Amino acid sequence: MADSPSAPVTNFSAAMTGEQTFQLEGRPARYTVLYFYPKDNTPGCTTESINFRELHDQFTNAGAEIYGISRDSLRSHEGFKSKLGLPFELISDPDEAVCTQFNVMKMKNMYGKQVRGVERSTFVIDANGKLVKEWRGVKVPNHADEVLEFVKSQP
Protein backbone atom coordinates (compact mmCIF):
# COMPACT_ATOMS: atom_id res chain seq x y z
CA MET A 1 0.00 0.00 0.00
CA ALA A 2 1.22 3.47 -0.76
CA ASP A 3 1.81 5.76 2.19
CA SER A 4 0.01 8.82 0.94
CA PRO A 5 -3.66 9.70 0.69
CA SER A 6 -5.16 9.31 -2.79
CA ALA A 7 -2.83 6.38 -3.44
CA PRO A 8 -4.39 3.14 -4.66
CA VAL A 9 -4.84 0.39 -2.08
CA THR A 10 -3.95 -3.11 -3.23
CA ASN A 11 -7.00 -5.34 -3.27
CA PHE A 12 -7.15 -7.95 -0.52
CA SER A 13 -9.56 -10.50 0.81
CA ALA A 14 -9.86 -11.85 4.34
CA ALA A 15 -12.26 -13.89 6.45
CA MET A 16 -14.82 -11.93 8.43
CA THR A 17 -17.70 -12.50 10.76
CA GLY A 18 -21.04 -13.70 9.46
CA GLU A 19 -19.27 -16.51 7.55
CA GLN A 20 -18.32 -13.99 4.89
CA THR A 21 -15.15 -13.01 3.06
CA PHE A 22 -14.20 -9.35 2.85
CA GLN A 23 -13.01 -8.24 -0.59
CA LEU A 24 -11.88 -4.64 -0.93
CA GLU A 25 -12.41 -4.53 -4.68
CA GLY A 26 -16.00 -4.02 -5.71
CA ARG A 27 -17.32 -2.73 -2.36
CA PRO A 28 -20.69 -1.09 -3.05
CA ALA A 29 -20.28 1.83 -0.63
CA ARG A 30 -18.84 5.23 -1.52
CA TYR A 31 -16.37 4.79 1.32
CA THR A 32 -14.93 1.83 3.21
CA VAL A 33 -13.76 2.61 6.74
CA LEU A 34 -11.22 0.11 8.09
CA TYR A 35 -10.32 0.51 11.73
CA PHE A 36 -7.43 -1.61 12.99
CA TYR A 37 -7.42 -2.36 16.70
CA PRO A 38 -5.15 -4.44 18.94
CA LYS A 39 -7.44 -7.01 20.61
CA ASP A 40 -11.06 -8.02 21.17
CA ASN A 41 -12.49 -7.53 24.66
CA THR A 42 -9.91 -5.02 25.87
CA PRO A 43 -11.00 -1.65 27.28
CA GLY A 44 -9.82 0.67 24.49
CA CYS A 45 -10.91 -1.65 21.69
CA THR A 46 -14.31 -2.16 23.29
CA THR A 47 -14.84 1.59 23.65
CA GLU A 48 -13.70 2.27 20.08
CA SER A 49 -16.01 -0.42 18.67
CA ILE A 50 -18.95 0.92 20.69
CA ASN A 51 -18.23 4.43 19.39
CA PHE A 52 -18.34 3.20 15.79
CA ARG A 53 -21.50 1.20 16.62
CA GLU A 54 -23.25 4.30 18.00
CA LEU A 55 -22.50 6.22 14.78
CA HIS A 56 -23.18 3.33 12.40
CA ASP A 57 -26.44 4.73 10.98
CA GLN A 58 -24.79 8.09 10.32
CA PHE A 59 -21.89 6.38 8.53
CA THR A 60 -24.37 4.39 6.44
CA ASN A 61 -26.31 7.56 5.58
CA ALA A 62 -23.03 9.17 4.50
CA GLY A 63 -22.33 6.25 2.15
CA ALA A 64 -19.70 4.50 4.27
CA GLU A 65 -19.31 0.92 5.45
CA ILE A 66 -17.34 0.23 8.65
CA TYR A 67 -15.15 -2.82 9.27
CA GLY A 68 -13.02 -3.55 12.33
CA ILE A 69 -9.79 -5.54 11.87
CA SER A 70 -7.54 -7.28 14.36
CA ARG A 71 -5.41 -10.41 14.60
CA ASP A 72 -8.07 -12.17 16.68
CA SER A 73 -9.70 -15.37 15.42
CA LEU A 74 -13.13 -15.44 13.80
CA ARG A 75 -14.46 -17.19 16.90
CA SER A 76 -13.20 -14.36 19.11
CA HIS A 77 -14.62 -11.79 16.67
CA GLU A 78 -18.04 -13.48 16.59
CA GLY A 79 -18.21 -13.35 20.41
CA PHE A 80 -17.00 -9.73 20.54
CA LYS A 81 -19.47 -8.67 17.85
CA SER A 82 -22.36 -10.42 19.59
CA LYS A 83 -21.44 -9.15 23.06
CA LEU A 84 -21.34 -5.52 21.85
CA GLY A 85 -24.21 -5.79 19.36
CA LEU A 86 -22.04 -4.50 16.52
CA PRO A 87 -24.04 -3.87 13.33
CA PHE A 88 -20.92 -4.23 11.13
CA GLU A 89 -18.55 -7.09 10.41
CA LEU A 90 -15.12 -7.74 11.90
CA ILE A 91 -12.22 -8.97 9.76
CA SER A 92 -9.85 -11.60 11.14
CA ASP A 93 -6.17 -11.23 10.24
CA PRO A 94 -4.32 -13.89 12.27
CA ASP A 95 -1.42 -14.11 9.82
CA GLU A 96 -1.04 -10.29 9.84
CA ALA A 97 -1.25 -10.06 6.03
CA VAL A 98 -3.66 -7.11 6.04
CA CYS A 99 -1.94 -5.51 9.04
CA THR A 100 1.36 -5.72 7.17
CA GLN A 101 -0.18 -4.30 3.98
CA PHE A 102 -1.37 -1.27 5.95
CA ASN A 103 1.86 -1.08 7.97
CA VAL A 104 0.13 -1.11 11.36
CA MET A 105 2.37 -3.67 13.10
CA LYS A 106 4.61 -1.75 15.51
CA MET A 107 6.82 -2.29 18.54
CA LYS A 108 4.97 -0.98 21.61
CA ASN A 109 5.70 -0.73 25.30
CA MET A 110 3.42 -2.84 27.45
CA TYR A 111 4.06 -3.01 31.17
CA GLY A 112 7.68 -1.99 30.58
CA LYS A 113 8.33 -4.64 27.92
CA GLN A 114 8.67 -4.20 24.15
CA VAL A 115 5.95 -6.15 22.35
CA ARG A 116 4.95 -6.27 18.72
CA GLY A 117 1.33 -5.32 18.20
CA VAL A 118 -1.26 -3.49 16.14
CA GLU A 119 -1.01 0.30 16.19
CA ARG A 120 -4.59 1.60 16.43
CA SER A 121 -5.20 3.09 12.97
CA THR A 122 -8.11 3.94 10.68
CA PHE A 123 -8.21 4.21 6.89
CA VAL A 124 -10.91 5.58 4.59
CA ILE A 125 -10.89 4.16 1.07
CA ASP A 126 -13.12 5.45 -1.70
CA ALA A 127 -15.17 3.37 -4.17
CA ASN A 128 -12.27 3.49 -6.66
CA GLY A 129 -9.95 1.82 -4.17
CA LYS A 130 -8.02 4.99 -3.38
CA LEU A 131 -6.88 5.83 0.14
CA VAL A 132 -8.42 9.21 0.93
CA LYS A 133 -7.59 9.57 4.64
CA GLU A 134 -5.63 7.78 7.33
CA TRP A 135 -5.20 8.16 11.07
CA ARG A 136 -2.31 6.43 12.86
CA GLY A 137 -1.59 6.13 16.56
CA VAL A 138 -5.26 6.79 17.21
CA LYS A 139 -6.50 7.88 20.62
CA VAL A 140 -10.00 6.47 21.16
CA PRO A 141 -11.91 9.50 22.57
CA ASN A 142 -13.76 11.32 19.74
CA HIS A 143 -12.00 9.32 17.02
CA ALA A 144 -15.14 7.77 15.49
CA ASP A 145 -16.72 11.25 15.44
CA GLU A 146 -13.68 12.63 13.60
CA VAL A 147 -13.85 9.85 11.00
CA LEU A 148 -17.57 10.46 10.52
CA GLU A 149 -17.03 14.21 10.08
CA PHE A 150 -14.39 13.50 7.44
CA VAL A 151 -16.68 11.13 5.52
CA LYS A 152 -19.59 13.60 5.71
CA SER A 153 -17.36 16.41 4.44
CA GLN A 154 -16.55 14.62 1.19
CA PRO A 155 -18.29 15.80 -1.97
Q: Convert the pLDDT of each residue in 114-142 to its tens digit.
A: 888 899 999 999 999 999 999 999 999 99
Q: Convert the pLDDT of each residue in 16-43 to its tens digit.
A: 999 999 999 988 889 999 999 999 999 9
Residue tagged active-site, from 45, 91, 125, 131: 45
Q: How far is CA 52 from CA 49, 114, 127, 128, 145, in A?
A: 5, 29, 20, 23, 8
Active site residue 99: no
Assigned CATH for 30-153: 3.40.30.10
pLDDT of residue 2: 41
pTM confidence score: 0.93
Q: Convert the pLDDT of each residue in 75-109 to its tens digit.
A: 999 999 999 999 999 999 999 999 999 999 998 87
